[in-house]
Each structure stands twice: as C-alpha cells, then as structure tokens.
C-alpha cells in the first residue's frame, strides 16, 4: 500500500466541485435504489399502502372522467336546443308563415317548423286520446306555433337564451319558451359536480399526503440507529433525507400507475353496459377514458404528492433524531 | 487542537458529569483519558463531538468555539473528527466497504477516489479481504477495525475513541493501539478514553485521569508514574 494514502491529517476535507457533482449523481442513483429497496423490503404492507393511495387517487380521477363524459354528452345534445314560439290566437295562417320565413332568414337559425292550430289539435287529440272531448270544443284553443332550431353555434344555453329574449319581444309572440331548460340544468349540475370533484380531489390529495407522510415517518423510525450513526459521521440532514424522498417518490409513482390501471380496468368493465344504455337512447355514445396527456398528468401528480408528502414529514422526523 | 476552558456539564436529570475542566491538547498529540466508571470520560468526548453541549465553559476544537456552532454547522465539524465507539456503530445492512465509504460519500468524493481510499484504509487495518462481507460476519475485533477504518478514511485531523479495546483480548488491543500510534505518527491528534490500565501501562503517552467529573491528574510521562494505585484509580466497580 502506498504509505501516503493515510498520511496527512487534513482539516476540512472534501472534493472538487466537479467530483462532488459527479458523486451527487451517483449518490442519487444509489439512493433511488435504496428508496425502492425500502419498499420491497416489506412488500405486503407497502403494497397495501400503494393500493390505498391508488384508490384515494382513483376516486377523484373517476369522477373527473365522468364529468368529462357528461360535458361531451351535453354538448352533443346541444343540437337539440329548440325555441318554441307560441303566437297569439289571432295570428292568421299567412302571418304565421310570413313570420316563419322571416325568422328562417336569420343566419343563427337552422330551421323553423310551423305548427298550425288545426294540425296541433289533430296531433294532440291523437296523442292524448281525448278525441271526443276535443270534438266538443267550439273553438280551437291551440295557438299557432313556431319551433325554431338555432344552428349549433347558437345552441348553447347562453346564446339560445339571447335568441329567446329577442323573439319574446315580437308582437305576434304570446309566449316564447326554451325547450331545453334541461340543458341548462345539466350544465349547472356539471358545474356543481366539478366543484365537488375539486373538493374531493383536494381532500383525497391531502389524505394521500398524510398516508405517505406517515409511512415515511415509520420508515425513519425504523432506521433510527442508522440515522444516528450517519449523523455522528457528519452527514447533513439533506444527505439523510434523500433516500426517504426517493421512497416517497416511488410510492407516488407506483400508486399513480396502480391508480391508472384501476381506472382503466373500471372503464373497460363499464364500457359494455354503457354502450347498451346508449343503444336504448339511439345514441352511439361511448365512454372515453384517460387521454395520454391526462394519464401522464395523473402519474405526475401522484409522484408529486409522494415527494411532497415525504418532504413534509421527513425533515421534521430526522431533525428529531440526535445521536446518543 | 482541543481546548476545554472551565467546562462543566450537568445532565438534564441533575447528574453532574463534569466539574470545571481545563485542558489543552495540542495538534498532533496523542492522549489517554482514564478514570473510574462514571468519571465523565464519555461525556468529555461527547462534548467534543457535539453530541452534548456544556452547561458552562467553552470547548474549542481546531480553533472553533463549539458554543458558537449553529446546529446547521454541526455536520461539518463532525466531518473533521473521526470517531471510534466501543459498540462500533456499524451499519449492519451494508457491506464493510460501504460502511467505510460512508464518510467519503457524505463528503462528496468521486467514486474512484472512494474506492482507492476505502481499500487503503481497509488494508491499513488488515481487512482488505473482507470488504464484501457484512459486519455480522465479522468478529468483534474485526468489527472494531472496520470502525477504525471508517474513522480514518476521511483523514480527519482528530480521532476520538471511546473504549476502543473494551471487549477485545490483550493481543488485539495492543494491535489496535499500534494502529493508533501509526496514525499519530502521520500527524493525527488522538484522544482515547480507556480504563484498560494494563494497556496504558505499556504506552508512553500523556494520560489524563478523571475522578467524579474532575481532572485529577495530567501526566505527560508514563502511566507507571501514576500517583494512585490502579485499584483506587478505577474504583471498585470496573464493569463497563
Ligand atoms: N445522558 C445522560 N443523562 C444523564 N446522566 C448521564 C448521561 N450520560 C452520562 N450520565 C452520567 O454522567 C456521569 C458520567 O458519565 P460518563 O458516561 O461520561 O462516564 P464514563 O467515564 O464514560 O464511564 P464509563 O467508564 O462507565 O463509560 C455518570 O454519572 C453518568 O451516570
Ligand atoms: Mg464511557
């Protein structure tokens, strides 16, 4: 051995900046491995932890998917947004048709259907079965009606609402009514559900932080002796913290992937019943799942939560350990 | 290198471990700390390594007053001190190599440099062939030598050892002392707490004798010249 190797007591040892940087990268690799090792050392209980986190993440994710689909559905039904204009009883057939032509010229309007009182009465008596009762009426009580269908761009609740207001002011119009109030209701419902989903996501995100924080706390306590020893040797808190941060990150990653699998499997499982249901409504609607970017988003959020959870917990618990 | 000025230490439970200690150990010096069990030897070392803080007085290491060291700076101070423990304090889930490499990894050395230095240190303590073993597979004496290799691998200017030969046979103890002498010859300061008087008798180094938290003797000559007979010096209870 080179006798020089151990000579020279030196103060303030350390390496060059470049060596330190290279070492840091190496250390990170080592600690990333050690972080994973930490999880696989105790596979069953850690698998449970991952699963709990995955489920906690799957709930808001699932809700978000439902919302996205609901929005899509409501948009595809906007085409059916219609305005019914009930004209005054005195309006003649010619006036009715003139008005319908006038409205049809508006570029916002796709189609105007004219329902004359006679026709309306006939339809009504056929559909309701009150043929006799209606036959005894000496005057047709039904007004002429125009059913106005806006083009798609004017079918949103807001735009069709504006059209409605315009038509309501026409002198011949007794009453204007937006057929699809329910579109508006659906929108409101979706907005409410979005708020609920955000709140749920926040609450469950917090729960995930707590779960990971607690898991890391236990892992720090399990390594108490080791931490004391490396502190005695002069390790900084940052050095000791790193493998635990990696453990948190791995938890996040595994949980994120598990969550993605859970969601995809559930969607696959729902696909058939939903297609059946849509078939009953003469719709070819299919459930759309997570897009690639959403999947990546999900897993990144999960990793971020894992990192954050361990970061919030590890510093405090490492500081509390002092060598004896 | 080490300076104690009017240092007293009282533990939170009221136990007074050190009473008004004044002491100076120069750079490159090797000194033994002895005394009966409970005399305060370990407490002295713990004050130097910042595991405990004095209740009064000042400890100055390498010209740094430890009272003024903020918690954030403690690791840097400890990196300049090699510590050897009676119970070795090795990491049992890592190889001998990894244990010895730890101080270098903390200091941020290049891995080739780490390999070189770790092997040099293991060679020095005669354990080069065991680098891949884990500490469990080693005997007590071998574990102690791993601990020593870890303490010196970073070339600290100061080595502290608390009962380094505590449960080793005389031959191994002498071997470890020879290692310490070699480190001392290359300029390392050493402070070794031990109540192994027969061992001290063979060494010709400065010996500090403690009793009930006080420094009662500071002899630069051989321990044969100690004023008190060993039995009285160490007290009847010699168990630790
Ligand atoms: N953490 C502690 N809390 C309270 N009292 C302590 C603590 N550590 C040590 N003491 C007390 O301080 C006194 C000095 O202890 P110290 O460990 O320094 O003795 P020592 O000389 O190293 O003894 P030994 O040879 O048995 O190791 C003892 O009376 C001991 O009981
Ligand atoms: Mg002791």
Identify whether the C-beta of residue A250 lies closer than 8 Å to the C-beta of residue A306: yes
Instruction: Report the domain count for chain A.
Output: 2
A238 occurs within a structural domain: yes
pLDDT at A134 over 90: no
Name the burial class of residue B222, with classes exposed (0-12), middle (13-18) and buried (19+) by CB atoms within 10 angstroms of its CB.
middle
Using the CB atoms, write b or e for B25-59: b if 16+ within 10 Å. beeebbbbbbbbebbbbbbbbbbbbbbbebeebeb
Higher pLDDT, A271 or A127: A271
- Ligand in closest contact with the CA of B8: 1
Residues A89 and A33 in one domain: no
Which domains, and CATH codes, for chain B?
A: 30-37+74-233 (3.40.50.300)
Q: Look at A19 and B76 and tell me if their CB atoms are within 8 Å.
A: no
User: What percentage of chain A reaches a pLDDT higher than 90?
Assistant: 31
What is the maximum alpha-carbon separation in chain B? Answer: 52
What is the pLDDT, as a whole number, of residue B238? 41
Q: Which atom of ligand 1 is nearest to the CA of B239?
A: 26
C-beta neighbour count of B237 within 10 angstroms: 9
Residues A315 and A208 in one domain: yes
Q: What is the pLDDT of residues A188-245, one digit of tens each?
A: 888 888 898 899 999 999 999 999 999 999 999 988 999 999 999 999 998 899 889 9
Q: Which atom of ligand 1 is nearest to the CA of B210?
A: 21
Chain B CB within 8 Å of residue A226 CB? yes
Rounded Cα distance, B104 and B149, in Å: 12
User: What is the ipTM score, two decimals?
Assistant: 0.87
pLDDT at B118 over 90: yes
All residues of chain B having their beta carbon less than 8 Å from the beta carbon of residue A236 are 75, 106
Is residue B19 classed as helix, strand or coil in its secondary structure? Answer: strand
Q: Look at B78 and A24 and tell me if their CB atoms are within 8 Å.
A: no
Rounded Cα distance, B178 and B209, in Å: 22
Rounded Cα distance, A1 and A3, in Å: 6
Residues A280 and A252 in one domain: yes
Give this prediction's pTM.
Answer: 0.75
Q: How confident is the model at residue B113 (pLDDT cuts 50, 70, 90)?
A: confident
Q: Where does a domain end: A178, A195, A216?
A: A178
Q: Where does a domain end: A178, A196, A231?
A: A178
Q: Which atom of ligand 1 is nearest to the CA of B13?
A: 4
Query: Closest by alpha carbon to B4, among B30, B37, B43?
Result: B43
- Ligand in closest contact with the CA of B40: 1
Helix (H) or strand (E) holding A197: helix A181-222
Query: Closest by alpha carbon to B183, among B198, B212, B213, B205?
Result: B205
pLDDT at B159 over 80: yes
All residues of chain A having their beta carbon less than 8 Å from the beta carbon of residue B106 are 230, 233-236, 239
CA separation, residue A234 to residues B72, B79, B90 (Å)? 11, 5, 14
Gap between the terminal Cα atoms of chain B: 28
Does the beta carbon of B240 sit less than 6 angstroms from any atom of ligand 1?
Answer: yes
What is the pLDDT, as a whole number, of residue A183? 65
Does the beta carbon of B39 sit less than 6 angstroms from any atom of ligand 1?
Answer: yes
The whole-chain average pLDDT of chain A stands at 83
Q: How confident is the model at residue B240 (pLDDT cuts 50, 70, 90)?
A: very low
CATH number for the domain including A114? 3.30.70.3040
Q: What is the pLDDT of residues A270-292, one digit of tens each?
A: 988 888 887 777 677 778 888 99
* Owning domain of residue A172: 83-178
Hey, which bits of B111-194 come out as E strands? 158-162, 189-193
Question: Average pLDDT in the B37-61 region?
Answer: 94
pLDDT at A1 over 50: no
pLDDT at A185 over 80: no
What is the pLDDT, as a whole number, of residue B221? 57
pLDDT at A87 over 80: yes
Q: What is the pLDDT of residues A34-84, one digit of tens each?
A: 778 877 887 888 899 999 999 999 999 998 888 888 877 766 665 557 788
Query: Closest by alpha carbon to A85, among A102, A63, A68, A72?
Result: A102
A324 occurs within a structural domain: no
């Amino acid at each position: 051995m080179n006798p020089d190797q151990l000579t020279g007591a030196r103060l303030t040892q350390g390496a060059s900046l470049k060596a330190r940087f290279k070492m840091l990268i190496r250390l990170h690799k080592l600690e990333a491995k050690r972080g994973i090792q930490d999880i696989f050392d105790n596979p069953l209980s850690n698998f449970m932890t991952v699963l709990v986190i995955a489920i906690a993440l799957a709930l808001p994710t699932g809700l978000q998917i439902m919302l996205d689909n609901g929005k899509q559905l409501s948009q595809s039904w906007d085409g059916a947004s219609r305005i019914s204009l009930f004209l005054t009883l005195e309006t003649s057939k010619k006036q009715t048709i003139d008005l319908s032509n006038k409205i049809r010229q508006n570029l916002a309007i796709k189609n105007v259907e004219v329902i004359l009182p006679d026709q309306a009465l006939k339809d009504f008596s056929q559909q309701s079965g009150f043929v006799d009762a209606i036959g005894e009426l000496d005057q047709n009580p039904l007004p002429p009606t125009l059913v106005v269908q806006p083009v798609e761009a004017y079918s949103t609740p807001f735009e069709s609402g504006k059209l409605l207001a315009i038509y309501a002011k026409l002198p011949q119009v007794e009453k204007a009514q937006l057929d699809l109030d329910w579109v508006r209701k659906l929108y409101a419902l979706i907005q409410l559900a979005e708020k609920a989903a955000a709140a749920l996501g926040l609450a469950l995100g917090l729960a995930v932080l707590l779960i990971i924080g607690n898991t890391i706390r236990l892992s720090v306590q399990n390594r108490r002796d080791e931490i004391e020893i490396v502190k005695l040797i002069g390790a900084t808190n940052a050095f000791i913290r790193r493998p635990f941060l990696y453990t948190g990150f791995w938890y996040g990653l595994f949980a994120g992937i598990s969550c993605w699998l859970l969601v995809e499997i559930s969607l696959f499982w729902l696909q058939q019943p939903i297609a059946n249901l849509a078939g009953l409504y003469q719709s070819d609607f299919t459930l759309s799942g997570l897009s690639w970017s959403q999947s990546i988003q999900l897993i990144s959020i999960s990793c971020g939560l894992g990192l954050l959870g361990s970061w919030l917990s590890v510093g405090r618990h490492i500081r509390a350990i002092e060598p004896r | 290198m080490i300076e104690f000025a009017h240092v007293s230490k009282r533990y939170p439970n009221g136990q007074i471990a050190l009473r008004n200690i004044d002491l100076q150990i120069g750079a490159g010096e090797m000194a033994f700390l002895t005394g009966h069990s409970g005399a305060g030897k370990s407490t002295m070392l713990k004050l130097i390594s910042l595991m405990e803080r004095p209740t009064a007085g000042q400890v100055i290491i390498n010209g740094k007053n430890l009272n003024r060291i903020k918690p954030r700076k403690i690791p840097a101070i400890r990196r300049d001190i090699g510590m050897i423990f009676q119970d070795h304090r090795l990491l049992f889930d890592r190889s001998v190599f990894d244990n010895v490499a730890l101080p270098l990894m903390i200091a941020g050395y290049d891995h080739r440099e780490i390999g070189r230095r770790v092997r040099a240190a293991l060679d020095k303590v005669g354990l080069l062939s065991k680098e891949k073993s884990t500490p469990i597979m080693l005997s007590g004496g071998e574990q102690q030598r791993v601990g020593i290799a870890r303490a010196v691998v970073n070339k600290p200017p100061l080595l502290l050892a608390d009962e380094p030969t505590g449960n080793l046979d005389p031959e191994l103890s002498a071997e470890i002392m020879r290692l310490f002498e070699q480190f001392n010859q290359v300029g390392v300061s050493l402070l070794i707490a031990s109540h192994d008087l027969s061992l001290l008798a063979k060494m010709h180094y400065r010996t500090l004798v403690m009793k009930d938290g006080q420094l009662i003797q500071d002899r630069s000559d051989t321990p044969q010249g100690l004023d008190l007979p060993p039995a009285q010096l160490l007290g009847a209870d010699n168990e630790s």
